[in-house]
Amino acid sequence: MDGYLARDFYVFGKAPFKTVERRLSWWFEHVDGAGELPKGCETTIKIVNAIISPIANICPRLWENIICPTIQMREVIWKGIKL
């Protein structure tokens, strides 16, 4: 989203949005929104997410090109404001 909506682009002209936040997350923000995970898994998922997600956000391009085939991210969070 950052490359298309937050930069000047030939289709839009001036950038229509400004990036406020962008990050990758190994698991969804709401770990068990559907209530389908076995008990005890939620804590493990939160711990693993707390380890993996910050590492991926240090250098997202490196993660995307080298590590992503092995450990994939489930969620891309992009927040922007309209200019």
pLDDT tens, residue by residue, 9-24: 666 677 778 888 888 8
pLDDT band for 1, please (50, 70, 90 cuts).
low
What is d(CA 39, CA 54) in angstroms, rounded to the nearest whole number?
A: 25
Query: For residues 77 and 22, is the Cβ–Cβ distance under 8 A?
Result: yes
Cβ–Cβ contacts within 10 Å for residue 51, how many? 10
pTM of the model: 0.67
Q: Is residue 2 scored above 70 in pLDDT?
A: no
pLDDT tens, residue by residue, 31-64: 766 777 787 788 888 899 899 999 999 988 888 8
